[in-house]
Amino acid sequence: MIARKPEWLKVKLPAGDNYVKLRGIVKDRGLHTVCQEAMCPNIAECWGVGTATFMILGDTCTRGCRFCNVKTGKPYELDPLEAFKLARSIEDLGLNYAVITCVDRDDLPDGGAQQMADAIRAIRARTRHVKVEVLTSDYRGDLDALKKVIDAEPDVFAHNIETTRALTPHVRDRRCGYDQTLRVLANAKQMRPGKFTKSGLMLGLGEVDEDVLQAARDLRAVGVDILTLGQYLQPTKRHLPVVSFVTPEKFMWFAQAIKPMGYHQVVSGPLVRSSYHAEQAFATRL
Protein backbone atom coordinates (compact mmCIF):
# COMPACT_ATOMS: atom_id res chain seq x y z
CA MET A 1 0.00 0.00 0.00
CA ILE A 2 1.33 3.45 -0.93
CA ALA A 3 2.52 5.81 1.80
CA ARG A 4 0.47 8.79 2.90
CA LYS A 5 0.30 11.94 0.81
CA PRO A 6 3.64 13.82 0.74
CA GLU A 7 4.05 17.39 2.00
CA TRP A 8 4.10 18.94 -1.47
CA LEU A 9 0.52 17.77 -2.07
CA LYS A 10 -0.98 19.26 1.09
CA VAL A 11 -3.13 22.32 0.46
CA LYS A 12 -5.05 24.86 2.51
CA LEU A 13 -8.75 24.49 3.24
CA PRO A 14 -10.98 26.80 1.17
CA ALA A 15 -11.51 30.21 2.77
CA GLY A 16 -11.75 33.93 2.05
CA ASP A 17 -14.36 36.43 0.90
CA ASN A 18 -14.02 35.64 -2.82
CA TYR A 19 -14.36 31.92 -2.15
CA VAL A 20 -17.57 32.49 -0.17
CA LYS A 21 -18.95 34.83 -2.84
CA LEU A 22 -18.26 32.41 -5.68
CA ARG A 23 -19.66 29.44 -3.77
CA GLY A 24 -22.85 31.41 -3.13
CA ILE A 25 -23.30 32.34 -6.79
CA VAL A 26 -22.73 28.75 -7.92
CA LYS A 27 -25.25 27.42 -5.40
CA ASP A 28 -27.91 30.08 -5.89
CA ARG A 29 -27.95 29.73 -9.69
CA GLY A 30 -27.82 25.96 -9.84
CA LEU A 31 -24.43 25.92 -11.55
CA HIS A 32 -21.80 23.21 -11.26
CA THR A 33 -18.04 23.53 -11.11
CA VAL A 34 -15.47 20.86 -11.81
CA CYS A 35 -13.60 22.35 -8.85
CA GLN A 36 -16.22 20.82 -6.56
CA GLU A 37 -17.27 17.76 -8.56
CA ALA A 38 -13.72 16.54 -9.17
CA MET A 39 -12.45 17.58 -5.71
CA CYS A 40 -9.71 19.72 -7.25
CA PRO A 41 -6.80 20.36 -4.84
CA ASN A 42 -6.48 23.95 -6.11
CA ILE A 43 -9.99 25.03 -5.11
CA ALA A 44 -8.67 27.11 -2.20
CA GLU A 45 -6.19 29.00 -4.38
CA CYS A 46 -8.39 29.49 -7.44
CA TRP A 47 -11.66 30.31 -5.68
CA GLY A 48 -9.78 32.48 -3.23
CA VAL A 49 -8.87 34.83 -6.08
CA GLY A 50 -12.31 34.60 -7.72
CA THR A 51 -11.71 32.16 -10.57
CA ALA A 52 -13.35 28.81 -11.30
CA THR A 53 -13.89 26.19 -13.96
CA PHE A 54 -17.60 25.87 -14.64
CA MET A 55 -19.15 22.57 -15.67
CA ILE A 56 -22.20 22.58 -17.93
CA LEU A 57 -24.67 19.91 -19.09
CA GLY A 58 -25.45 18.96 -15.49
CA ASP A 59 -23.45 17.07 -12.89
CA THR A 60 -24.00 13.49 -14.09
CA CYS A 61 -21.75 11.86 -16.68
CA THR A 62 -22.80 9.01 -18.97
CA ARG A 63 -19.30 7.50 -18.81
CA GLY A 64 -17.44 5.90 -15.92
CA CYS A 65 -13.72 6.63 -16.12
CA ARG A 66 -11.92 4.94 -13.25
CA PHE A 67 -10.12 8.08 -12.08
CA CYS A 68 -12.94 10.61 -12.08
CA ASN A 69 -15.09 11.66 -9.12
CA VAL A 70 -17.90 13.16 -11.21
CA LYS A 71 -20.94 10.94 -10.66
CA THR A 72 -22.06 8.51 -13.36
CA GLY A 73 -25.63 7.68 -14.27
CA LYS A 74 -28.65 8.89 -16.22
CA PRO A 75 -28.44 12.69 -16.54
CA TYR A 76 -31.27 15.12 -16.04
CA GLU A 77 -32.73 17.08 -18.94
CA LEU A 78 -30.76 20.09 -20.12
CA ASP A 79 -31.37 23.43 -18.44
CA PRO A 80 -32.48 25.80 -21.25
CA LEU A 81 -31.28 28.79 -19.18
CA GLU A 82 -27.88 27.33 -18.35
CA ALA A 83 -25.91 29.42 -20.85
CA PHE A 84 -27.59 32.64 -19.68
CA LYS A 85 -27.00 31.88 -15.98
CA LEU A 86 -23.39 30.98 -16.67
CA ALA A 87 -22.72 34.17 -18.64
CA ARG A 88 -24.36 36.34 -15.97
CA SER A 89 -22.32 34.67 -13.23
CA ILE A 90 -19.05 35.25 -15.09
CA GLU A 91 -20.00 38.91 -15.52
CA ASP A 92 -20.92 39.27 -11.83
CA LEU A 93 -17.62 37.71 -10.77
CA GLY A 94 -15.65 40.13 -12.95
CA LEU A 95 -13.64 37.36 -14.57
CA ASN A 96 -11.28 37.98 -17.45
CA TYR A 97 -10.74 34.32 -18.27
CA ALA A 98 -13.43 31.66 -18.15
CA VAL A 99 -12.93 27.90 -18.38
CA ILE A 100 -16.00 25.89 -19.33
CA THR A 101 -15.98 22.12 -19.14
CA CYS A 102 -18.71 19.50 -19.29
CA VAL A 103 -19.73 15.97 -18.46
CA ASP A 104 -20.01 13.42 -21.27
CA ARG A 105 -23.57 13.32 -22.58
CA ASP A 106 -23.76 10.25 -24.82
CA ASP A 107 -27.54 10.37 -24.36
CA LEU A 108 -27.76 13.48 -26.56
CA PRO A 109 -27.54 13.32 -30.39
CA ASP A 110 -24.70 15.87 -30.49
CA GLY A 111 -23.20 15.01 -27.11
CA GLY A 112 -24.16 18.45 -25.81
CA ALA A 113 -22.12 20.37 -28.38
CA GLN A 114 -24.86 22.90 -29.06
CA GLN A 115 -25.19 23.70 -25.35
CA MET A 116 -21.43 24.30 -25.21
CA ALA A 117 -21.58 26.56 -28.27
CA ASP A 118 -24.50 28.48 -26.74
CA ALA A 119 -22.51 28.98 -23.54
CA ILE A 120 -19.54 30.43 -25.44
CA ARG A 121 -21.77 32.84 -27.37
CA ALA A 122 -23.68 33.89 -24.24
CA ILE A 123 -20.41 34.77 -22.49
CA ARG A 124 -19.25 36.74 -25.53
CA ALA A 125 -22.55 38.65 -25.65
CA ARG A 126 -22.30 39.84 -22.03
CA THR A 127 -18.54 40.16 -21.55
CA ARG A 128 -16.78 40.54 -24.88
CA HIS A 129 -13.38 41.00 -23.22
CA VAL A 130 -13.44 37.61 -21.48
CA LYS A 131 -11.27 34.91 -23.01
CA VAL A 132 -13.01 31.55 -23.13
CA GLU A 133 -11.37 28.16 -22.80
CA VAL A 134 -13.46 25.02 -23.26
CA LEU A 135 -12.55 21.54 -22.03
CA THR A 136 -14.86 19.21 -23.92
CA SER A 137 -15.76 15.58 -24.39
CA ASP A 138 -14.80 13.74 -27.57
CA TYR A 139 -18.39 13.84 -28.90
CA ARG A 140 -17.85 10.19 -29.90
CA GLY A 141 -15.65 11.47 -32.72
CA ASP A 142 -18.58 13.27 -34.40
CA LEU A 143 -17.04 16.03 -36.52
CA ASP A 144 -20.35 17.87 -36.97
CA ALA A 145 -20.70 18.15 -33.18
CA LEU A 146 -17.09 19.27 -32.84
CA LYS A 147 -17.62 21.92 -35.52
CA LYS A 148 -20.55 23.41 -33.56
CA VAL A 149 -18.16 24.15 -30.70
CA ILE A 150 -15.26 25.33 -32.85
CA ASP A 151 -17.54 27.64 -34.87
CA ALA A 152 -18.45 29.44 -31.62
CA GLU A 153 -14.75 30.41 -31.54
CA PRO A 154 -13.41 29.59 -28.09
CA ASP A 155 -9.96 31.05 -27.51
CA VAL A 156 -8.66 27.65 -26.37
CA PHE A 157 -10.06 24.22 -27.25
CA ALA A 158 -9.01 21.52 -24.78
CA HIS A 159 -9.63 17.80 -24.66
CA ASN A 160 -7.61 15.64 -22.28
CA ILE A 161 -5.84 12.45 -23.32
CA GLU A 162 -5.55 11.73 -19.57
CA THR A 163 -2.90 8.98 -19.66
CA THR A 164 -0.52 7.01 -21.86
CA ARG A 165 -1.60 4.71 -24.67
CA ALA A 166 -0.73 1.60 -22.65
CA LEU A 167 -2.78 2.65 -19.62
CA THR A 168 -5.81 4.04 -21.49
CA PRO A 169 -7.94 0.84 -21.39
CA HIS A 170 -7.29 0.53 -17.65
CA VAL A 171 -7.93 4.18 -16.78
CA ARG A 172 -10.59 5.54 -19.14
CA ASP A 173 -14.12 4.45 -20.00
CA ARG A 174 -14.26 1.97 -22.89
CA ARG A 175 -16.03 4.58 -25.02
CA CYS A 176 -12.99 6.84 -24.78
CA GLY A 177 -9.84 6.15 -26.75
CA TYR A 178 -6.29 7.35 -27.12
CA ASP A 179 -6.49 7.63 -30.91
CA GLN A 180 -9.97 9.12 -30.81
CA THR A 181 -8.65 11.89 -28.56
CA LEU A 182 -5.81 12.56 -31.00
CA ARG A 183 -8.27 12.75 -33.89
CA VAL A 184 -10.51 15.21 -32.03
CA LEU A 185 -7.57 17.48 -31.28
CA ALA A 186 -6.24 17.20 -34.83
CA ASN A 187 -9.61 18.15 -36.31
CA ALA A 188 -10.07 21.03 -33.86
CA LYS A 189 -6.73 22.47 -34.97
CA GLN A 190 -7.57 22.00 -38.64
CA MET A 191 -10.91 23.77 -38.23
CA ARG A 192 -9.31 26.81 -36.53
CA PRO A 193 -5.53 26.75 -37.10
CA GLY A 194 -5.02 30.10 -35.38
CA LYS A 195 -6.51 29.03 -32.04
CA PHE A 196 -4.77 27.22 -29.21
CA THR A 197 -5.47 23.52 -28.63
CA LYS A 198 -4.66 21.90 -25.32
CA SER A 199 -4.51 18.52 -23.59
CA GLY A 200 -3.45 17.02 -20.27
CA LEU A 201 -1.93 13.95 -18.65
CA MET A 202 -2.20 12.56 -15.12
CA LEU A 203 0.92 10.95 -13.64
CA GLY A 204 1.19 8.46 -10.80
CA LEU A 205 -0.91 5.69 -12.36
CA GLY A 206 2.02 3.40 -13.14
CA GLU A 207 3.07 5.03 -16.40
CA VAL A 208 6.52 4.56 -17.96
CA ASP A 209 8.58 7.71 -18.57
CA GLU A 210 9.09 6.98 -22.26
CA ASP A 211 5.36 6.44 -22.73
CA VAL A 212 4.69 9.90 -21.21
CA LEU A 213 7.20 11.45 -23.61
CA GLN A 214 5.63 9.54 -26.51
CA ALA A 215 2.19 10.84 -25.55
CA ALA A 216 3.63 14.36 -25.61
CA ARG A 217 5.09 13.70 -29.08
CA ASP A 218 1.77 12.28 -30.31
CA LEU A 219 -0.13 15.35 -29.06
CA ARG A 220 2.35 17.76 -30.57
CA ALA A 221 2.16 15.88 -33.88
CA VAL A 222 -1.55 16.78 -34.14
CA GLY A 223 -0.86 20.43 -33.37
CA VAL A 224 -1.53 20.65 -29.64
CA ASP A 225 -0.06 23.92 -28.30
CA ILE A 226 -0.47 23.56 -24.53
CA LEU A 227 0.17 20.51 -22.36
CA THR A 228 -0.50 20.05 -18.65
CA LEU A 229 0.92 17.31 -16.43
CA GLY A 230 -0.29 16.77 -12.88
CA GLN A 231 -0.43 14.18 -10.11
CA TYR A 232 -3.36 11.77 -10.04
CA LEU A 233 -5.06 11.70 -6.63
CA GLN A 234 -7.51 8.94 -5.72
CA PRO A 235 -10.89 10.61 -5.01
CA THR A 236 -12.41 7.64 -3.14
CA LYS A 237 -11.61 3.99 -2.43
CA ARG A 238 -13.81 3.06 -5.41
CA HIS A 239 -11.37 4.71 -7.81
CA LEU A 240 -7.99 3.64 -9.12
CA PRO A 241 -5.29 3.67 -6.44
CA VAL A 242 -2.27 5.94 -6.72
CA VAL A 243 0.73 3.88 -7.85
CA SER A 244 3.30 6.59 -7.13
CA PHE A 245 3.60 10.18 -5.96
CA VAL A 246 5.71 11.92 -8.57
CA THR A 247 8.15 14.43 -7.09
CA PRO A 248 8.21 18.11 -8.07
CA GLU A 249 11.71 17.50 -9.46
CA LYS A 250 10.42 14.78 -11.78
CA PHE A 251 7.62 17.02 -13.00
CA MET A 252 10.25 19.64 -13.78
CA TRP A 253 12.28 17.01 -15.65
CA PHE A 254 9.26 16.18 -17.81
CA ALA A 255 8.67 19.87 -18.55
CA GLN A 256 12.28 20.34 -19.62
CA ALA A 257 12.14 17.25 -21.83
CA ILE A 258 8.82 18.19 -23.46
CA LYS A 259 9.15 21.95 -24.03
CA PRO A 260 11.70 21.53 -26.89
CA MET A 261 9.10 19.52 -28.83
CA GLY A 262 7.62 22.86 -29.84
CA TYR A 263 4.83 23.46 -27.34
CA HIS A 264 3.78 27.03 -26.66
CA GLN A 265 3.29 26.20 -22.98
CA VAL A 266 4.01 23.19 -20.76
CA VAL A 267 2.58 23.37 -17.23
CA SER A 268 3.92 20.53 -15.11
CA GLY A 269 3.67 20.02 -11.36
CA PRO A 270 2.04 17.85 -8.68
CA LEU A 271 -0.97 20.14 -8.18
CA VAL A 272 -1.42 21.11 -11.83
CA ARG A 273 -4.85 20.46 -13.31
CA SER A 274 -6.21 21.19 -16.80
CA SER A 275 -7.31 24.75 -16.06
CA TYR A 276 -4.67 25.68 -13.48
CA HIS A 277 -3.21 29.10 -14.39
CA ALA A 278 -4.83 28.68 -17.82
CA GLU A 279 -4.79 32.43 -18.51
CA GLN A 280 -1.00 32.45 -18.51
CA ALA A 281 -0.99 30.95 -22.00
CA PHE A 282 -1.97 34.39 -23.27
CA ALA A 283 0.36 36.28 -20.96
CA THR A 284 3.26 34.36 -22.53
CA ARG A 285 2.01 34.35 -26.11
CA LEU A 286 4.70 35.31 -28.61
CA distance 212 to 6: 22
CA distance 23 to 26: 5
Residue 5 lies in a domain: no
Residue 284 lies in a domain: no
By C-alpha distance, which of 19, 40, 15, 51 is closest to 232? 40
pLDDT score of 200 = 96
DSSP type of residue 3: P
Residue 21 or 62, more confident: 62
Residue 144 lies in a domain: yes
| pTM, to two decimals | 0.89
Sequence-separated (6 or more) residues with CB below 8 Å from residue 52: 22, 26, 33, 35, 46, 93, 99
CB 55 within 8 A of CB 32: yes
Q: What is the pLDDT of residues 267-286, one digit of tens each?
A: 999 988 776 666 666 765 54
- Identify which of 8-22, 191-205, 233-247 has the greatest average pLDDT: 191-205
CATH assignment at residue 62: 3.20.20.70
Residue 102 lies in a domain: yes
Residue 3 lies in a domain: no
Residue 98 lies in a domain: yes
SS3 152: coil
Residue 209 lies in a domain: yes
CB 143 within 8 A of CB 111: no
pLDDT score of 286 = 40
CB 65 within 8 A of CB 99: no
Residue 132 lies in a domain: yes
Domain count, the chain: 1
CB 102 within 8 A of CB 116: yes
Question: Measured in Å, how far apart are the chain's first and last C-alpha atoms?
Answer: 46
SS3 156: strand
Across the range 36-61, mean pLDDT stands at: 71
Q: How confident is the model at residue 16 (pLDDT cuts 50, 70, 90)?
A: low
List 53's β-bridge partners, or say none: 99
248 has a pLDDT exceeding 50:
yes
CA distance 146 to 166: 26
Range of the domain at 97: 10-279
